[in-house]
Amino acid sequence: MEEQPIQGRSSHCALSYRERHWSPATLNWNRNSLPGAGAAMKTPAPAWTCGLALVLLLLLAVLQTTTAQKNGIDIYSLTVDSKVSSRFAHTVVTSRVVNKADTMQEATFQMELPKKAFITNFSMIIDGVTYPGNIKEKAAAQEQYSAAVARGESAGLVKATGRKMEQFQVSVSVAPAAKVTFELVYEELLKRRLGVYELLLKVQPQQVVKHLQMDIHIFEPQGISFLETESTFMTSELENALTTSQTQTKAHILFKPTLSQQQKSLEQQDTVINGNFIVRYDVNRTLSGGSIQIENGYFVHYFAPEGLPTIPKNVIFVIDKSGSMRGKKIQQTREALIKILDDLSPKDQFNLVPFSEEATQWKPSLVPASAENVKEARTYAAGIQAQGGTNINSAMLMAVQLLERATREELLPSGSVSLIILLTDGDPTVGETSPEKIQRNVQDAIGGQYSLFCLGFGFDVSYAFLERLALDNGGLARRIYEDSDSALQLEDFYQEVANPLLTAVAFEYPSNAVEDVTQDNFRLLFKGSEMVVAGKLRDQSPDVLSAKISGQLLMQNITFQTESGMAEQEEFPSPKYIFYNFMERLWAFLTIQQLLEQIVSASDTEKQALKTRALGLSLNYSFVTPLTSMVVTKPEGQEQSQVAEKPVENKNRHRNVPLGHGVFRYHSMGNRRSGMTAAENFSSRLGPPGPLHHRHSSYPFSNPNPRLTDMLLVPGLLSDPSGFDGVLHGMDLMITETISTSPPSGKLPAPSALTQAPSVILPLPGQSVDRLCVDIKHSQGPMNLLSDPDQGIEVTGHYEIEKAQFSWIKVTFRNPQLQVHATPEHVVVTQNRRSSAYKWKNTLFSVMPGLKMTEDKAGLLLLSSPDKVTIGLLFWDGPGQGLRLLLRDTDRFSRHISGTLGQFYQDVLWGPPTEADDSKRTLSVQGHDHSATRELKLDYQEGAPGTEISCWSVEL
C-alpha cells in the first residue's frame, strides 16, 4: 500500500501511516505497521504545540484503526489448558479467530512461554485444513529452506522477551469470513527453587474474548503441602472468575471471566487481561530417600529430604569493579554484597576479592563470619569503586589460592563446603584475555575441589564463557538483568546456594531393574532445591524398585533407602490430570537438558556423541531444542518458509533485550464510569470518600475532557529515531484539570494551602471519636509502629521529618511466615528466603494460605486476611516522594498491641473538653498524657491532592 501523508496540516508535522497488521492471540501489532513507522519524518517545528498536534493526530489515527481492528480479526475463543503431573507440565494454548472484515486480513498468533520449556507442536487449522509444524534437524531445516535463512527469517518465530520468557509468533493471511484455529503445545519440568515449584503462564488477548479460559490441573502423588496463585492483571471484578480447589494430591485452578469482567469499562472493548498468571506450590516430604513414581515402564525419583542440618561453607566473593561497572551496577553490587554478608552464618568463613586491572584481597586469608568481621567487611564493600580494566584470570586464581592455602594449613572447618562466586559484567581485557585459556587455568587450579558459580551482569558479558567456566567446576551460571531490582537478583541467587545440605550425592538402583538412567551423581544438594533422577524399567524388572542414596553430611557418610512397588503404585488419575506417556516424556526432557549442559563443557571429541544422542531424542519426542527447528507450513500462495528455533542465551549479547515486547498497549487514565482517576478510585475500598475538589493529572497529554475516550500511548514510536524523539525531547507537559464544585451544606470547605497531611490517620473503633491524626515530629532511626503477637503482625518503619513521609515500611507476618519491605522504589516480598520485587502502580493479585496481597495502579498495596487487621501501604509522590501507612479492620487488634501507633489501641482515656476551648482535649495512653486538638487535616486516603477532614490531632 502506498504511503500517503495525512492531509490538512503543516509540512513540519507531516506523518505517514501504513496498513495495519492484527494479532489474534494477543492482538499485538508489528512495529512496522504502526502509524508513521519507517516513514521519513521532517524536522519538527520548534514549538511544542506542533509536537502535541502531531501526537494527537497520530492518536486519532490509532483510534480509527482500533475500531477497524475490532471489526476485522476477532478472537472468539482463547484457552490455556495446563496439566502438571509429578512436576512435569504440559500446556496447550488454543486461539480461534475469525476475519469479520470484507477484505483479506493478516492474523498473528503470539504467545509467550517459559525459556526452560520445549515447544512440542504447533498447528493451524484454516477452513478445515490442518497445517502442522514439522520438527527437523536444524541443519536439514536450514538447507531445505535456504531462501528463508538468506532472508534472515530462520529464527524469526521465537525470540527471547525477558528474564523468563520467550515469544512465539506466526502470521497468516485470512480470507473474509474465514476462521483459523491456532494451537501451540509446550512442555517443561518444573524446577524446585527456594522451596517452591512455579508454573508461569502469560495471557495477553488485547481484546475481550467471548470464551476465555485458563484451566490448570495439578497432580502430585506426594501430596500438595501449599498452593498459592499470583496475577499481574487481576481486578476485584476478575477475582470472582477465579476458582481454586485442592485435595491432598490434586489441585484445580480455573479462570473463566465473562465479557463484562474482562472490559476496562462499559464503554470500552479494551481488556484488562494483560500479564502473568503464576501458580506456586510445594509437596509433602520427610527425612527419607525421597519419592519414586512409576508410570508405563518409566520411573522418576525426587530427592529433597527435610530436617538435615546446614553444612558450614567457605565462600569467596570475586567482584568485578572495572570501569564498565561504574554507576548503578557497582551501587547495586555493593547493596547486594552488604545484604549477603549479613546473611552469613557465624559458622561460615569468607573473603572478598574485588578486581579490575589487578585483583586485591580484603584479608590475607579467610576469616570467620563473626559480627565484628561482617561489620568490617560491610564497610569495605561500601567503599568499592569502579575503574580500570577486567582481569578475570588473575582474580580467579587468587580466589583459588586463598582456598588452597587455607586447606593446606587446615584452617577450614572439618566437612565444610568451599564455594567461589564470580560477578562480572564484561569480557577479560587485561592479563590473560583468551576465554579458553582462562577456562583451562581455572579448571586446573580448582581440580574438582571447589564449586564455582558465575553471575553475568547485563548483556555485554560473554554468557557462554561464564556458563562453561561454571559447569566445568560443578556450579552454574546465571544472568543478572540490569533493572531496579538487580541487587535483589544477586541476593536471591545467593540464597539458593547459602545452605548446603549434602555433598557427593550418588543414587544407586539394581542393574537388573533399570536402564538409561539420567544423571545420578551430584556434587551438592542445597536447601530448597531438589535432585531428580529418571530412567527406564527393564522388561523383566522386579516387582519392587529399590534405591539407595549416599552422601556426606559434615564428616559423616549418610545413606537413605527407599522403594516403590510396581503394583502398589497409586494408579494415576483421569486424563484431566495427566497426559499420555507423561513420565516417558519427562525422562526424555530431563535427558536432553542434561546432555545440552554436558555439551557446553565437553571436549571437541565428546561433543559430537552428546549432540547425536540429544538430537535423536529431540526428534523422537518432537521437542524444539537448540539442535532442532520447527518448520511451519502455510496455505499455498503464502510465505512457505517460516522456521521456529530455540533462542540461545548468548545470542542476546551486545544488545539490550527488553523485559517486555513492543506491543500496542492501551493505558487507562482512570475509571471513566465514575469520572475519577485511578488514584481517587481506590478510596472506595478504604471508606466513603469525601467531596472531590480538585483533580490533577501528571500524565503526558492527559485528557482534559472526561467524556473523551482514553488516550492511547504507543511505546516504540516515541523512541523511534525516525519518529517523535525530536518533537518530545525536552518536553514536560502537564495538563491540570480543575473541577469546580461547591461543598454540600455542612461540609468542609476546599483544602487550603495551609492544610497539612498527618503522618498517619488511625481509625479508632469503639471510641467516641472516629479518627485520630498522628503527626510524627520526632523520629530517630527505625520505629516499631505496630506489634501484635496475637495477630502475628509487626510493622516497623523509618519516618523522614523533612519529607513528612516514611522512607521505608516493613510488615512482618508470623503465619504465613512472610515479610513485605516497601520503599519508594519497589515492594519486596520475602517468603522462605525467596524474594520477589514488585513495582508500584502495577496491578497485583496474590492469594496464599492465610494472606491476600493486592495492589492497584494508584499505588495502593493491601495485605488482608479474614481474621487479621488489614495493612495498607500507599506510594506517595506528591508533595515529597515516600510511603504512607493505612489501617483498616482495627477492631481486630488484640489487647496485647503495642508500638508507637499500636499504643493508641490500648486502654485510651479521653479527658473532657477544656472550658476555654472545646477543640482541645487530653488523651491518656498507658499513663502518658497527650494534648489532642480538633483540627482540619488532609486525608490522603482519597487520593491526590486529598480531602480535608476534621480529626483529633496528636503530636509524637
Confidence of residue 936 (pLDDT cuts 50, 70, 90): confident
Residue 666: what pLDDT? Answer: 26
> Cα–Cα distance between 72 and 87 in angstroms, integer?
40
Tell me how many degrees the CA angle 659-662-664 measures, rounded to the nearest 5.
130
Give the pLDDT mean for 714-733. Answer: 33
> Cα–Cα distance between 676 and 697 in angstroms, integer?
11
> Cα–Cα distance between 857 and 674 in angstroms, integer?
16
pLDDT at 784 > cutoff 60: yes
> Residue 628 in contact with residue 619, Cβ under 8 Å?
yes
The model's pLDDT over 341-357, given as tens digits with 9 standing for 90+, comes to 999 999 999 999 999 99
* H or E element, residue 84: strand 73-85
Average pLDDT, the chain: 79
pLDDT at 804 > cutoff 60: yes
Phi, psi dihedral angles at 60 (to 5 degrees)? -65, -40
Nearest CA among 734, 720, 733, 735 for reference residue 15: 720
pLDDT at 603 > cutoff 70: yes
Q: Higher model confidence: residue 161 or residue 622?
A: 622
Give the pLDDT mean for 682-709. Answer: 31
Q: Which CATH architecture has domain 73-283?
A: Sandwich (2.60)
Nearest CA among 460, 459, 461, 458 for reference residue 482: 458
Give the pLDDT mean for 654-679. Answer: 33
> Cα–Cα distance between 600 and 500 in angstroms, integer?
25
The model's pLDDT over 513-567, given as tens digits with 9 standing for 90+, comes to 999 999 999 999 999 999 999 999 998 878 889 999 999 998 899 999 998 886 5
Residue 746: what pLDDT? Answer: 33
> Residue 551 in contact with residue 503, Cβ under 8 Å?
yes
Residue 431: what pLDDT? Answer: 94
Give the pLDDT mean for 794-823. Answer: 91
**Sign (positive or negative) of CA dihedral 769, 770, 775, 780:** positive
Nearest CA among 396, 416, 366, 417 for reference residue 472: 396
> Cα–Cα distance between 553 and 416 in angstroms, integer?
9
> Cα–Cα distance between 425 and 755 in angstroms, integer?
50
- Residue 837 contacts by C-beta under 8 Å, 6 or more apart in sequence? 484, 485, 488, 826, 827, 828
C-alpha count within 13 angstroms, C-beta hemisphere, residue 880: 15
The model's pLDDT over 863-920, given as tens digits with 9 standing for 90+, comes to 999 889 999 999 987 666 889 899 988 889 998 999 999 998 887 788 887 777 778 8
Direct distance between the N- and C-terminal alpha carbons of the chain, in angstroms, rounded to an integer: 70
Amino acid occupying residue 934: R
pLDDT at 708 > cutoff 70: no
> Cα–Cα distance between 793 and 257 in angstroms, integer?
34
**What three-state secondary structure class fits 387?**
coil
> Cα–Cα distance between 50 and 9 in angstroms, integer?
10
pLDDT at 59 > cutoff 50: no
Give the pLDDT mean for 124-137. Answer: 90
Q: Which CATH number does the domain 320-492 belong to among 3.20.20.150, 3.40.50.410, 2.60.40.10, 3.40.50.300?
A: 3.40.50.410
Q: Higher model confidence: residue 948 or residue 23?
A: 948
> Cα–Cα distance between 924 and 928 in angstroms, integer?
5
Tell me how many degrees the CA angle 940-946-949 measures, rounded to the nearest 5.
85
Amino acid occupying residue 410: E
C-alpha cell at 83: 496439566
CA Rg value for the chain: 31
Task: Rank 61-75, 124-138, 610-624, 834-848 by mean pLDDT and report only the highest.
Answer: 610-624
Nearest CA among 132, 127, 68 for reference residue 100: 68
b vs e for 114-150, b when ≥16 Cβ sit within 10 Å of the residue's Cβ?
bbebbbbbbebebeeeebebebbebeebbeebeebbe
> What proportion of the chain, given as a percentage, has pLDDT over 70?
76
Confidence of residue 316 (pLDDT cuts 50, 70, 90): very high
Give the pLDDT mean for 787-813. Answer: 92
> Cα–Cα distance between 288 and 561 in angstroms, integer?
7
Give the pLDDT mean for 701-719. Answer: 32
Each domain of the chain, given as residue ranges in start order, spans 73-283, 320-492, 760-955
pLDDT at 56 > cutoff 50: no
Strand partners, 16: 5
C-alpha cell at 398: 587468587
Give the pLDDT mean for 158-162. Answer: 76
Residue 247: what pLDDT? Answer: 94
Q: Is 693 left (phi over 0), alpha (psi -120 to 50) or beta?
A: alpha
Give the pLDDT mean for 800-809. Answer: 88
Q: Is 297 left (phi over 0), alpha (psi -120 to 50) or beta?
A: left
> Cα–Cα distance between 929 and 934 in angstroms, integer?
16
pLDDT at 926 > cutoff 70: yes
Nearest CA among 111, 244, 129 for reference residue 183: 111
Confidence of residue 360 (pLDDT cuts 50, 70, 90): very high
Q: In what order do the strands lie in the sheet with 367-368?
A: 367-368, 349-355, 313-320, 417-424, 451-457, 477-480
> Cα–Cα distance between 386 and 866 in angstroms, integer?
50
- Alpha carbon distances (Å) from 360 to 238, 336, 337, 392, 422: 56, 20, 16, 12, 14
Residue 650: what pLDDT? Answer: 59
> Cα–Cα distance between 358 and 316 in angstroms, integer?
17
pLDDT at 853 > cutoff 50: yes
Phi, psi dihedral angles at 565 (to 5 degrees)? -80, 135
- DSSP strand E in 575-661: where? 628-632, 642-645
Residue 3: what pLDDT? Answer: 38
Strand partners, 253: 216, 244
> What proportion of the chain, given as a percentage, has pLDDT over 90?
48
Confidence of residue 66 (pLDDT cuts 50, 70, 90): very low
Give the pLDDT mean for 651-660. Answer: 41
Among the ranges given (334-343, 464-473, 569-578, 660-669), the one the predictor scored with the smallest mean pLDDT: 660-669
> Cα–Cα distance between 830 and 817 in angstroms, integer?
9
Q: Higher model confidence: residue 704 or residue 487?
A: 487
> Cα–Cα distance between 417 and 310 in angstroms, integer?
10
Residue 266, Cβ density class (10 Å: 0-12 exposed, 13-18 middle, ≥19 buried): exposed
Confidence of residue 143 (pLDDT cuts 50, 70, 90): low
C-alpha cell at 678: 485511578
Confidence of residue 569 (pLDDT cuts 50, 70, 90): low
Nearest CA among 891, 673, 857 for reference residue 275: 857
The model's pLDDT over 194-243, given as tens digits with 9 standing for 90+, comes to 999 999 998 888 889 999 999 999 999 999 999 999 998 888 788 899 99
Give the pLDDT mean for 21-43. Answer: 36
Return the residue matching grid coordinates 488489614.
870
Give the pLDDT mean for 152-179. Answer: 78
pLDDT at 781 > cutoff 70: yes
The model's pLDDT over 417-475, given as tens digits with 9 standing for 90+, comes to 999 999 999 889 999 999 999 999 999 999 999 999 999 998 888 899 999 999 999 99
Strands 870-877 and 881-888: antiparallel
The model's pLDDT over 301-314, given as tens digits with 9 standing for 90+, comes to 999 999 899 999 99
Phi, psi dihedral angles at 609 (to 5 degrees)? -65, -40
